[in-house]
A = this chain, B = another copy of it.
Amino acid sequence: MILVDGEPATVIDARDRGLAYGDGVFRTLKCLAGAPLWWRDQFDTLRRDCAALALPVPDGDALRDEVGRVAAGADCVVKILVTRGSGARGYAPPAGTPSTRVVMASALPPMAQSGAPADVMARLCSLRLAAQPRLAGVKHLNRLENVLARAEWNDPACYEGLLCDASGQLVGGTQSNLFWLEGNTLCTPPLDDCGIAGVTRTRLLRRAGRLGLASRFERRLPAAILAADEVLIGNSLIGIRRLARIDDAALSDAGWRTRLDELVHEESD
């Protein structure tokens, strides 16, 4: 089911600025029995991303209600898009045009279902992410880099592709954030030039101290994380998964995965 501005629909205006320019943001939520996980963090992040583009923020209660309507009691993925609405041709944002809000449900992918493997394989992508501080961290609708990177492999055994910036330092995965452990330090790349600052990353960094972990933002070449105690990826659909391999390199397992996955799933803040 799809709701466009709260009404059942399968289409949007062909003049929507989301289509014309990617002028909008989105969220991907996991729902279990129709209830969205981590709603407060998801909505806070949507609000942050709307602010980055000076987009009006949808009403939180109405949006939460729409998520429930499209989820319809099922285990599913709900995607929320907020665009700057329909407008005349031209980059200048029209004054006073209401935004467009699309809320749609789809099936949980295999990796988001219970019983999916705890460990996954990744590869290093050749595409380098461009540095754009004005858009870094934001889950906006300009995602051609992700599309091009994801098109680099077909092997279904490879779950994720890791992306570097122009200097060759790791940023994250095509659809996940990246973490690694060195002793009692949880490291993750800073996202002030590129990448998406996902909700799973926010929750993990906010809570890592509960497990006695320090957090650190680190720029690293891919070769430099192969010796980490454990390398992990995370997003809202899969929680935290361990990388067993990056291309031909096998990675260590220090046993943190399950504890960190439970940590991001805790209800309390």
Contact = CB atoms under 8 A, between A and B. Distances in A.
A132 interface: yes
B150 A20 contact: no
Contact of A2 (B14, B17, B130, B175): B14
A22 B16 CA distance: 12
Which residue of A102, A134, A140 has the most chain B CB atoms within 10 A of its CB atom? Answer: A134
Q: What are the nearest 3 A-B pairs in CB distance?
A: A22-B22, A130-B130, A142-B142
Nearest to A150: B91
A35 interface: no
Contact of A104 (B15, B26, B90, B132): B15
A221 interface: no
A130 B15 CA distance: 26
A90 B102 contact: no
A208 interface: no
B11 A13 contact: yes
29 contacts: A2-B14, A11-B11, A12-B19, A16-B19, A19-B19, A19-B83, A19-B102, A20-B81, A20-B143, A21-B22, A21-B144, A22-B144, A23-B144, A23-B147, A53-B144, A53-B147, A77-B89, A79-B89, A88-B106, A89-B106, A91-B143, A91-B147, A91-B150, A91-B174, A93-B147, A131-B131, A132-B145, A134-B148, A140-B144
B130 A132 contact: yes
A209 interface: no
A175 B91 contact: yes
A223 interface: no
A100 to B, nearest CB: 9
How many monomers of this chain does the complex have? 2
Contact of A21 (B16, B77, B143): B143
B77 A20 contact: no
A82 to B, nearest CB: 12
A146 interface: yes
Contacts of A144: 21-23, 53, 135, 140-142
A151 interface: yes
Contacts of A145: 132, 134-135
